[in-house]
Structure 1
Amino acid sequence: MFFKSSKINEFRLWGLMFTLAGMGLMIAGTAGIVFWGQAGKIFAAIFMVIGMIGMLLSVGVYFWAGMLSTSAVILTCPECHRQTKMLGKTDRCMYCKTIITLDPSKATHMPAEDPVVD
Structure 2
Amino acid sequence: MFNRSSKINEFRTWGLLLTMAGMGTMVLGTAGVVFLGGAIGKFIAGIFLVIGMIVLLGSVAVYFWAGMMSTSATVIECPECSKPTKMIGMTDRCMFCNTILSYDPRYAPEDAAPSGTDAAEAAPPSKS
Report the TM-score, using the length of structure 2 for normalisation: 0.83
Gaps of 5+ in 2: 117-128
Unaligned runs of 5+ in 1: 114-118
Match of 1:67 in 2: 68
CA contact (8 A) 2:100 2:108 kept: no
The answer (yes or no) to whether the contact 1:6–1:92 under 8 Å persists in 2 is yes
Whether the aligned pair in 1 keeps the contact of 2:85 and 2:95 (CA below 8 Å) is yes
- The equivalent residue for 1:98 is 99
Amino acid at match of 1:95: F
1:70-89 alignment runs, 5 A limit: 70-89=71-90
| Cα distance between partner residues in 2 of 1:106 and 1:17 | 30
* Separation in structure 1 between the aligned mates of residue 3 and residue 59 of structure 2, nearest angstrom: 19
Q: Please identify runs of 4+ aligned residues in structure 1 that moved more than 3 A.
A: 110-113
2: CA distance between counterparts of 1:94 and 1:3? 12
1:53 aligns with 2:54: yes
Q: Which amino acid aligns with 1:62?
A: Y
The 8 Å contact of residues 76 and 82 in structure 1, kept in 2 or not, is answered as yes
* Cα distance in structure 1, aligned partners of 2:108 and 2:62: 30
Q: What CA distance in whole angstroms lies between the structure 2 residues aligned with 1:81 and 1:112?
A: 20
Contact 1:6 1:94 in 2 (8 A): yes
Following TM superposition, by how much is the alpha carbon of 1:3 offset from its aligned partner in structure 2, in angstroms?
A: 5.5
Give the helix-richer structure, 1 or 2. 2
Give the residue type in structure 1 aligned to 2:68: M
| Two-structure CA RMSD over aligned residues (Å) | 1.6
- Secondary structure, aligned partner of 2:95: coil
Corresponding pairs, count: 112
